[in-house]
């Protein structure tokens, strides 16, 4: 069955360092992968989308890589800040935004 | 631009009762999604509409859950009868539904927190 895993439930890092979150999947050939941020008591907020034929995408301090051979995406936040503390979710989708599945999320804490 | 609206925000019911949730997507968005998010887990897609047609309802427990999207705009999700394991946050999301670019970006509402006692 299709499976998506995020590397750890929680990640704690020092302010200013780069946070790296991992998303691995099996039994799926996604057309694209997305990363979302979710704060407690709120719905997820879209951050970045990367397609199957793209290797890397950047947006300000965020960078996403996508390796369809390894079936893995890495999500990086550079120069991390306490305000980046949240749960980060990865999501896969097939063509026409079908068969969407979310990972369980990684709770990131940035300490001052 | 107004975001995705959901109501109610909170609901407490007893098992075997019925409950309904309402969602108003962003104006002009063709695709609407309902998700169930259990505490500590990621959202699980229940049903996906494209305009007022169903694209995917493979994970919707059809013996107790139903959803409709009248006129391709607002949507309601109903649970009848509710079970204890239905306690979760029910999230509605919408997207422009246009392939390419950021057309697949989902915009989520605040969710409805359901507690079944």
CA angle (B13 as vertex; B12, B19 as ends), nearest 5: 100
User: Closest approach of chain A CAs to the CA of B41, in angstroms?
Assistant: 5
Q: Can you list the alpha helix ranges (DSSP code H) found in A13-94?
A: none
Q: Is A44 on the interface with B (CB under 8 A)?
A: yes
Query: What distance in Å separates the CA atoms of residue B111 and residue B35, rounded to the nearest whole number?
Result: 9
Give the Cα separation of B71 and B52 in Å (integer).
6
User: In this structure, what token pair is assigned to residue A71?
Assistant: 């079936």
Q: Flag the least confident range among A28-42, B19-33, B86-100.
A: B86-100
Q: Note the pLDDT of residue B99.
A: 58
pLDDT tens per residue, range B38-64? 999 999 999 999 888 998 999 999 999
Minimal CA separation from A99 to chain B, in Å: 7
Residue pair A57/A64 in contact (Cβ under 8 Å)? The answer is yes
Running DSSP on this structure, what letter comes out for residue B79?
A: E
A31-68 residue pLDDT tens: 889 999 999 999 999 999 999 899 999 999 999 999 99
By Cβ distance, the residue of B55, B95, B106 closest to A98 is B55
Confidence of residue B103 (pLDDT cuts 50, 70, 90): low
Using DSSP's 3-state secondary structure scheme, residue B84 falls into helix
Which residues lie closer than 8 Å to B98 by C-beta, 6 or more apart? B30
């Amino acid at each position: 069955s299709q499976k998506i895993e995020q590397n750890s439930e929680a990640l704690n890092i020092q302010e200013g360092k780069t946070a790296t979150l991992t998303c691995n999947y099996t039994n799926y050939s996604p057309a694209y992968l997305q990363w979302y941020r979710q704060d407690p008591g709120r719905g997820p907020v879209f951050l970045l989308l990367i397609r199957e034929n793209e290797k890397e995408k950047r947006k300000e301090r965020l960078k996403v890589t996508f390796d369809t051979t390894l079936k893995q995406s890495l999500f990086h936040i550079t120069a991390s800040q306490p305000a980046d503390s949240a749960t980060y979710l990865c999501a896969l989708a097939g063509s026409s935004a079908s068969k969407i599945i979310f990972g369980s999320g990684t709770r990131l804490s940035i300490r001052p | 631009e107004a975001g995705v609206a959901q109501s109610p925000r909170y609901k407490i019911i007893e098992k075997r009762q019925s409950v309904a949730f309402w969602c108003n997507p962003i104006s002009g968005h063709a695709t609407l999604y309902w998700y169930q998010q259990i505490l500590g887990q990621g959202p699980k897609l229940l049903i996906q509409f494209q305009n007022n047609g169903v694209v995917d309802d493979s994970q919707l427990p059809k013996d107790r859950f139903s959803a409709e999207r009248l006129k391709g705009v607002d949507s309601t999700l109903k649970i009848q009868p509710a079970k204890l394991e239905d306690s979760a946050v029910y999230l509605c999301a919408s997207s422009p539904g246009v392939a390419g670019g950021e057309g697949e970006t989902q915009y989520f509402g605040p969710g409805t927190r359901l507690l079944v006692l």
